[in-house]
Amino acid sequence: MDFNPGLKIGETIDNKRLCEIFKCSTQGGMRRSLKTNTLVLVSNHVKSIYDDRWIGERFHYTGMGTIGDQSRSSGQNRTLDQSGTNGVNVHLFEVDRKGEYIYQGPVRLADNPYQEEQPDEEGNNRKVWVFPLELVSGNRVPVSKSEFTVAQQSRERKAKRLDAAELAKRAKAARPKAGQRSVVSVEYERDPHVAAYAKLRANGRCQLCLNPAPFHNKAGEPYLETHHLEWLAKGGEDTPANTVALCPNCHRRMHVLDDPADIEKLRVILNGESHT
């Protein structure tokens, strides 16, 4: 009989509740529970060394074993490998933000496991087993853009901490085909009149570096991008008093640094223009 955890697809829970529901261990990426006859798979995109990824509608999950080559026939790799015939229910969770476990639902093997090279816990390349999985429901839960960004930034920070030799080794061993994640983002309907007015007011020059637009678009117009000094996502208003026109380089600078000195400089420029 299939185990029903009573969770909705896409529901987020913490590790304590996960363990209470499935009667499984509090640690590890593959958690076998004899009490519920389940195998819980946890793919932690924040801190795991494994290269789990979605490709199309299949989730390619790396087996257990942190040092050296992995074995397909030992531990929970064997449980997952035989899950089509051993009666064990397999459930997948993904972690994109520390402490938050997103329930993706029951999964099953979609194809034969295969081997590939991935670095182990000590940074040495080794052979791992990868299990192609598909959702029983067929409905993949997208993550929010902020969750995806947090997970990606965490991985990038870990990469930057590696020395040059180790970083080069891992970069050369990277898969040529990128993984895929379905991401949901919130888009703001910006008033086109405010944007057009900000560009008209800038008169072809970036309002931060004061240089001419770096190029013209196909219509022959100076290319500038509009930016809200107080971001819309943080409650900023879509008004001329909060909107400037910037070259692409300065626009990126504002999103990366959001430097108070730059903001103050732009506010002075806007205030000056409002009095002319």
* Run of H or E residues at 132: strand 125-135
Could you tell me which CATH number the domain at 12-184 has?
2.30.280.10
Residue pLDDT tens, the chain, 276 long: 789 999 999 999 999 999 999 999 999 999 999 999 999 999 998 887 788 888 888 999 999 999 999 999 999 999 999 999 999 999 999 998 889 999 999 999 999 999 998 888 888 889 999 999 999 987 777 777 777 787 777 778 777 877 888 788 777 777 777 777 777 777 788 888 999 999 999 999 999 999 999 999 999 999 999 999 999 988 999 999 999 999 999 999 999 999 999 999 999 999 886 555
Q: What is the dihedral of CA 259, 265, 267, 273, to 10 degrees?
A: -150
Supply the pTM of this predicted model. 0.68
- The rounded distance, in Å, linking the Cα atoms of 195 and 227 is 9
User: Among residues 187, 67, 177, 179, which one has the least CA distance to residue 121?
Assistant: 67
- The rounded distance, in Å, linking the Cα atoms of 100 and 154 is 15
Q: How many CA atoms lie within 13 A of 212 on its CB side?
A: 4
Q: Where are the domains of the chain?
A: 12-184, 192-274
Q: Which amino acid is at 141?
A: V
The class that CATH gives domain 192-274 is: mainly alpha
Q: What is the dihedral of CA 224, 226, 229, 232, to 10 degrees?
A: -160
